[in-house]
Structure 1
Amino acid sequence: MYLISISQQALKKLRKSKILAGLLALIMVVIISAPTISQTTENYGEALQKAILFYEAQQTGRLPEWNRVPWRGDATLEDGADVGVDLSGGWVDAGDNVKFNFPLAFSVTTLAWGGIEYYDAYKKSGQLVHLSQNLKWVTDYFLNAFANDTPGEYVLYGQVGNGELDHQWWGSVEVVNYQMERPAFKIDTSCPGTDLAGETSAAMASSSILFRKNGDTEYADLLVDKAEKLFDFANKYRGKYSDCLKEAVPFYTSNNGYLDELIWGAIWLHKAKKAQNSSYSAEYLAIAETEYQQMGKPFNYTYQFDDKSYGIYVLLAQETGKIEYQQRTEAWLNFWTIGHEGEQIKYTPGGLAFLAKWGSLPLAANTSFLAFIYSDWLQTQGKSQKAEGYFDFGVNQINYILGQNPAKRSYLIGYGDNYPHNPHHRTAHGSWLNSMNEPTETRNLLIGALVGGPDEQEHWADDRNDWVRNEVGVSYNAGFAGALAKMYQEFGGKPLTKVSFPQLDDEPEIYVESRVSQASKNATEINLSIVNKSAAPAQGWEDPLMRVFYTAGSNKVEDIAASATSNDCSIDSATVVKLKKGLYYTEIACGGTVIYPGGNEKYMKQISLKLNTDRATDNNFFGSLSSLFAKPLQITKICLYDGDELIWESDSAI
């Protein structure tokens, strides 16, 4: 590893130089004590493109036409039916199938913040439309989740799905409703949640600013109105949401308390109201500054779903210019760089700022994102030396994530030549056996997902069983996307014309296995197995029906008797239908049976079909068949239907 020292003034000139901009990442500046790696720049346009694309793999509901993930399908269409509210939309949280609205709202706020700060970069890269579409997908869901916005009667749904049950089953989101009930859980005035309501308010307020910049004033105004009511709910009815919405524990417990989300919501409402109305009197900023006095002032952690303190420092510094907020911001960022009061973040041998084993990369990315924002603001205040130091930190961390590390591994799935393939993600894995280990290789590539990352000695393996290092999530990508937008703004890059997804292997997903178990002059018995290994997308059949086509010498339906038995499904009928002379089919319906890729007893149903020709009257029925065990009839084709829809047919006779 080689470190090169250069003045800040020279570095600034280099960054602005069109000729030398591509060499910037080769120069590591010794202004912090963190290890650094000297490498070339990355394609930040492609990385940003894919980081936003990831969110479309997390969508639930009836998917929109603009969803670009070919292996995803409609999912959770019945969510909220138990409470009479449409909660089908939104994003599932991570590699599971639960909608946890607390980290979900944090993700929306953070993504919107990146869109606001780096609006031109998003627009120039062609990703603004994708960011906006994905944000609206969730803000629409939040509008539904805020089921009662009447003061004094507030109701906000904050979770869909039981985390304990969900985490015991390894299957795709498209078929989760066949496996388990998905109850909706709420907070209300009798049992409130200031942190959940405050963060959801921040999500709507921040998104309103972005939509207003896009020219969608009507929708922006709606979001501001709902954000104000949510803030009123958060402020007047105080309490930790996880004390009331107990199903969020232990997954997303509010360990940090609710005061930071209350302040956070107030600041974002201040910014949203200021964008909406030039005569706004800054009352929400006053609330934020008053409540801030009661808040703890940490410096040795970072911005994440349960701790908005560091985002509060940055926003209050921007909004007021007061030295208190600058000092708090810089104490935190110095901890991550040069150290503060004798404390400093640990660095891995390859240069990753390592805070915790869970989400080591997303935590570094979140810090980088806010470091970029604060650095930009410092530049406007004429404090370029500090600004450059924080900027350099962010550049090094993002480049580490994208592959400038000792393993030369990109931790962004689908980016670069060496990236993870087996994240801890049920729908991407595509197991039909309710097994994390089968199949061995993940069937769908989860393009754009940022995995948790290595440990402090940079140990990492492409193992979906290691959910600490290979979990993905909507909160993992949020700050990362904003940081990538800044990197694109500074260094450029070229998004792909189209992101291509690899195809599944050649093994069919849906088919019927058949085996003749008995063949005589009088009867043919066939064992049939209906198999559903679907993963692109996963799907369930609620009305499975099979038709077995065959030829026989008889001209009369009455000459053939059909019967079907099964221990796996209830056989409604096994009827014989004549198509034309010598050509018949028998139709077998399994009423009340759902076949879906959800486990051994779910993905395959076995049926025994017996075709009997004892009643044949045609003396020439067996024609030239002379062998004692020759088949009295010939199976020519098997077709599988879901209701009236043909979903599979054999391509050869049995």
Structure 2
Amino acid sequence: MTSFVFWCTLLVVGVKAANNAAGGFDYGNAVDKSFLFFEAQRSGRLPFNQRVKWRADSGLRDGFPQGVDLVGGYYDAGDHVKFGLPMAFSVTMLSWGAIDFRQEIVGLKQMGHTLDAIKWGTDYFIKAHPHPNILWGQVAAWLFRATKDVYYLKYVAENAASMGGTGWAAREFSWDNKYAGVQILLSKADYMLGKNPKSVSYVVGYGQTYPVHVHHRGASIASVSVLHSSVGCLQGYDTWYRRPKANPNVIHGALVGGPTKNDNFSDDRTNFEQTEPTISASAPLVGLLSKLQSVTAGNSGPHPKVAPAPSPKSDIPVEFLHSITDTWTVGRTSYYRHKVIIRNVSQKPITDLKLRFENFSGSIWGLSPTQDKNTYALPQWLKVLKPGSECSFVYIQGGPQAEFWVQSYH
């Protein structure tokens, strides 16, 4: 099981050897987006600090017919099924990254999100084992690491083959086998983020060009807060599955299946082999990318680090509902039409609302520029945003979406 650490160690060696020639990817930004993907995959009643606003509560009666509370956990991939084994693997990889790359994750100010992501999975597993003080599983290797008792190490050594640790699938990196991970070097991480023949980032929301027809049920159907009605399974398939337009919801941080061995990639929602993301593919990236960011800090390249936006106040009276309504390509750059709904979720009318933008380089409609740079206000004809009411604006730009937050209001 230490081969995951060895895998990342090899990656770090590769980074140090090629640091001067590296592309300068902002691995820290990719880490943050990975956690957004885990939030988008949550099942159950969502917490108050949920950042992916187009998601809502789901699966609130899981297990009830059998008399067991199985609400919570993660959906495995784009088709929204809770599979125990991939979920356990994903939580294990997140935990492993937090243990071995604690300093790097803390340095990125992502330990809180890391622990939240782990706890969301472990809370579910605790409920999935309803008998007190009983937890069956192949945990001897972890017990040795925690207790230093050689009994557990001996148990692993004598039973590794029967537990699937050796002897099969040695060429695949999976929840049963980590050996193939040592074959992955720095180039593979950069490849995923856009250093490939297609110049496509296979992590959604990262870089200038990324998949927009992701095979993901929640991302490919407009939110209930936008449609104001739910979409059934048949309606979702008939109306949304083969829809040629980009997904209305951007599922940030999702690592899709990726290209063929010949670097060919088809951004097609029905091509699930290439466009479907999974939590088991994204989980190992957290520790890995955190380490890569720590050893390449200061190497800006074409993906410079962006200062984080100020933390919003907890009493902000509006929420933003973001969607991509169209996309097209000019040369090697993909452009996106973004629509953002601003909704007053407070009990009081709002006036003089001003929004601060970062990473914005396109054109905008529905907001008025102010004298302050990168700051926009509601249009002059909209004096008051009443409780429960909403307005919208549209902007077009290439690459990732802009970042914005409430700067002031009355």
Alpha-carbon distance, 1:135 to partner: 0.6
Q: Quick check: 1:267 aligned with 2:141?
A: yes
Paired residue for 1:467? 272
Q: Quick check: 1:308 aligned with 2:305?
A: no
Give the residue type in structure 2 aligned to 1:416: G
Paired residue for 1:412? 203
RMSD: 3.2
The answer to whether the 8 A contact 1:104-1:475 is kept is yes
Alpha-carbon distance, 1:290 to partner: 1.5
Specify the SS of the correspondent of 1:465: coil
Structure 1 residues 48 and 434, CA, compared in 2 at 3 Å: closer, same or farther?
Answer: same
Specify the SS of the correspondent of 2:283: helix
Residue 144 (structure 1) aligned to one of 127, 133, 158: 127
Give the residue type in structure 1 aligned to 2:124: Y
Distance 2:92 2:15 in 1: 33
The answer to whether the 8 A contact 1:90-1:138 is kept is yes
Provide the identity percentage. Answer: 35
Runs of 4 or more, structure 1, over 6 Å off, are 11-14, 499-502, 645-648
Distance 2:70 2:155 in 1: 32
Residue 53 (structure 1) aligned to one of 20, 30, 36: 36
Structure 1 residues 74 and 299, CA, compared in 2 at 3 Å: closer, same or farther?
Answer: closer
Structure 1 residues 646 and 482, CA, compared in 2 at 3 Å: closer, same or farther?
Answer: closer
Alpha-carbon distance, 1:458 to partner: 1.1
Task: Output the TM-score relative to the length of structure 1.
Answer: 0.41
Q: Quick check: 1:400 aligned with 2:191?
A: yes
Residue 434 (structure 1) aligned to one of 201, 212, 236: 236
The answer to whether the 8 A contact 2:98-2:111 is kept is yes
Distance 1:399 1:502 in 2: 31
Alpha-carbon distance, 1:285 to partner: 1.5
Give the residue type in structure 2 aligned to 1:426: R
Distance 1:130 1:12 in 2: 27
Q: Quick check: 1:447 aligned with 2:317?
A: no
Paired residue for 1:15? 16
Specify the SS of the correspondent of 2:322: coil
Give the residue type in structure 1 aligned to 2:308: T
Distance 1:504 1:458 in 2: 29
Q: Quick check: 1:285 aligned with 2:153?
A: yes
Q: Quick check: 1:87 aligned with 2:70?
A: yes
The answer to whether the 8 A contact 1:415-1:448 is kept is yes
Q: Quick check: 1:479 aligned with 2:349?
A: no
1:52-79 per-position Cα deviation (integer Å, ceiling 9, x unaligned): 2210000111111222111111111111
The answer to whether the 8 A contact 1:111-1:482 is kept is yes
Specify the SS of the correspondent of 1:434: helix
Alpha-carbon distance, 1:490 to partner: 1.5
Paired residue for 1:497? 308
Distance 2:269 2:161 in 1: 44
Give the residue type in structure 1 aligned to 2:140: A
1:576-604 per-position Cα deviation (integer Å, ceiling 9, x unaligned): xxxxxxxxxxxxxxxxxxxxxxxxxxxxx
The answer to whether the 8 A contact 1:111-1:481 is kept is yes
Structure 1 residues 459 and 271, CA, compared in 2 at 3 Å: closer, same or farther?
Answer: same
1:96-147 per-position Cα deviation (integer Å, ceiling 9, x unaligned): 1211111100110111111111111100001111010111011011110111
Distance 2:264 2:154 in 1: 47
Distance 1:468 1:126 in 2: 34
Task: Output the TM-score relative to the length of structure 2.
Answer: 0.64
Distance 1:90 1:75 in 2: 11
Correspondences of 1:460-609 after superposition (within 5 Å): 460-492=265-297, 494=305, 497-498=308-309, 503-504=322-323
Give the residue type in structure 2 aligned to 1:59: R
Q: Quick check: 1:108 aligned with 2:100?
A: no
Give the residue type in structure 2 aligned to 1:82: P
The answer to whether the 8 A contact 2:45-2:72 is kept is yes
Q: Quick check: 1:63 aligned with 2:60?
A: no
Correspondences of 1:330-369 after superposition (within 5 Å): 367=181
Specify the SS of the correspondent of 1:99: coil
The answer to whether the 8 A contact 2:86-2:280 is kept is yes
The structure richer in helix per residue is 1
Rg bigger for which structure?
1
Structure 1 residues 506 and 404, CA, compared in 2 at 3 Å: closer, same or farther?
Answer: closer
Distance 1:489 1:64 in 2: 30
The answer to whether the 8 A contact 1:49-1:495 is kept is no
1:168-192 per-position Cα deviation (integer Å, ceiling 9, x unaligned): xxxxxxxxxxxxxxxxxxxxxxxxx
Structure 1 residues 52 and 501, CA, compared in 2 at 3 Å: closer, same or farther?
Answer: farther
Distance 2:215 2:190 in 1: 23
Distance 1:95 1:12 in 2: 34
The answer to whether the 8 A contact 2:15-2:295 is kept is no
Distance 1:414 1:407 in 2: 16
Distance 1:72 1:60 in 2: 10
The answer to whether the 8 A contact 2:97-2:284 is kept is yes
Name stretches of at least 5 consecutive residues in structure 1 with no aligned partner: 1-10, 26-39, 150-225, 235-261, 275-280, 311-331, 333-366, 372-389, 508-535, 537-644, 649-654
The answer to whether the 8 A contact 1:14-1:24 is kept is no
Alpha-carbon distance, 1:506 to partner: 8.3
Paired residue for 1:201? none
Distance 2:161 2:308 in 1: 50
Residue 43 (structure 1) aligned to one of 16, 26, 29: 26
- Between 426-435 and 498-507, report the one with greater CA deviation: 498-507
Distance 2:171 2:196 in 1: 23
The answer to whether the 8 A contact 1:61-1:90 is kept is yes
The answer to whether the 8 A contact 1:430-1:443 is kept is yes
Specify the SS of the correspondent of 1:129: helix
1:173-220 per-position Cα deviation (integer Å, ceiling 9, x unaligned): xxxxxxxxxxxxxxxxxxxxxxxxxxxxxxxxxxxxxxxxxxxxxxxx
Distance 2:297 2:95 in 1: 21
Specify the SS of the correspondent of 1:503: strand
Distance 1:12 1:97 in 2: 38
Distance 1:70 1:13 in 2: 38
Give the residue type in structure 1 aligned to 2:145: K
Give the residue type in structure 2 aligned to 1:434: G
Alpha-carbon distance, 1:439 to partner: 6.7
Distance 1:414 1:133 in 2: 21
Structure 1 residues 501 and 489, CA, compared in 2 at 3 Å: closer, same or farther?
Answer: farther
Give the residue type in structure 2 aligned to 1:469: Q
Relative contact order, higher structure (CA 8 A, sep 6+): 2
Name stretches of at least 5 consecutive residues in structure 2 with no aligned partner: 1-11, 223-230, 299-304, 312-318, 327-340, 342-386, 391-410
Paired residue for 2:213? 422
Paired residue for 2:110? 127
The answer to whether the 8 A contact 1:57-1:446 is kept is yes
